[in-house]
Amino acid sequence: MPVLRSTLLIDAPIRTVAAAVRDVSVVRATGPLAQCTARGDLLCVGDELSFQVPLVPGVRVPMRTKIVRADDSGISSELASTDQLVRRLRHDITLAETGAGTLVTDSVRWLSPWGPIGSAADVLLMRRFVLKLLQRRGNAVRSRVLSLGRAPVVVAAAIVHKGHLLAQQRSYPEHLAGRWELPGGRVEAGETDEAALIRECVEELGARVTVGARFGPDVPLPKGYLMRAYAATLADGDAVPEALEHLAVEWVPVERLAELDWLDPDIALLPELHALLTETL
């Protein structure tokens, strides 16, 4: 199969770059995106993208791909169906931490269905299209990383206790009331992420937490904010968190994670939350 690949080095943490490569705005800046099924700003496994691929001048052919991997190490997609312009297609963005920043390797491979004619089409059409796509995506990723690096930070706590995750139900604003989210809030000037999480959990739940390791990608939020997620446990195992600012709090087992109507940004963390809970069982 033909393979085209590009690399770039970005002076930013891998989680921020992981957010950029999954960002729907980056996908839109890359090429003629017709439709995307993502609920939030980040692509998740199972999301589908519809593109318009230029076949000849003035003629565009639709193509659909599905996200099959999306995590801190990058993102991958494949054809959503086989009845398309090419027989096979695989797109991989792989991230690696280095001493100079995050190395981004972007590769696209495909298989045309037309034999020798398809090989000629690869040279004249697909290769040209993919090369432009790789260049535009690299520029868009770099630009998005810069904007995310300047964003004010919101922190979220994945509080795990006895194999359950604490979720809280929003009471406001009206259009978000009833949906679920992780506890947390904005990091104030002079605060560390950990101090902000401890303060927010006391304010929202009336309980202190012990903050653990970060997990998952950075998650873009509305109004230019950026969310970082941390694992956490109750500082006092006998404490009973209360819904001081929310409609309700609930301890959710791993098998019910997908049942809750999570806020869109929290949906991007569900695979990592599932893994976090599974590790404690």
The pTM of this model reads 0.88
> What is the longest distance spanned by two Cα atoms in the chain?
70
Is the pLDDT score of 103 beyond 80? Answer: yes
Query: In the CATH scheme, what is the homologous superfamily, with its name and number, of domain 153-280?
Result: Nucleoside Triphosphate Pyrophosphohydrolase (3.90.79.10)
Query: What is the reported pLDDT for 61?
Result: 79
Query: What is the reported pLDDT for 253?
Result: 96
Pick the more confident residue, 17 or 115. 17
The two three-digit tokens of residue 274, written as one number = 């599932």
Is the pLDDT score of 227 beyond 90? Answer: yes
Query: What is the reported pLDDT for 90?
Result: 93
What average pLDDT does the segment 154-181 reach? 95
Q: Which of 25, 249, 281 is nearest to 147 (CA)?
A: 25
pLDDT tens profile 104-148 = 999 998 877 655 555 555 656 677 778 888 999 999 999 999 999
Residue 174, number of CB atoms within 10 A of its CB: 8
What average pLDDT does the segment 44-68 reach? 84
> Alpha-carbon Rg of the chain, whole angstroms?
21
Query: What is the reported pLDDT for 33?
Result: 73
Query: What is the reported pLDDT for 222?
Result: 86
Domains of the chain, residue spans: 3-149, 153-280
Query: What is the reported pLDDT for 267?
Result: 93
What average pLDDT does the segment 234-260 reach? 95
The two three-digit tokens of residue 59, written as one number = 């003629």
Q: Which of 95, 222, 252, 87 is nearest to 162 (CA)?
A: 252
Residue 201, number of CB atoms within 10 A of its CB: 24
Residue 3, number of CB atoms within 10 A of its CB: 10
Question: Which fold is adopted by the domain 3-149?
Answer: Alpha-D-Glucose-1,6-Bisphosphate; Chain A, domain 4 (3.30.530)
Q: Dihedral sign for Cα 81, 84, 85, 87, please.
A: positive
Query: What is the reported pLDDT for 243?
Result: 96
Alpha-carbon distances of 216 from 54, 124, 237, 240, rounded to whole Å: 35, 40, 25, 27
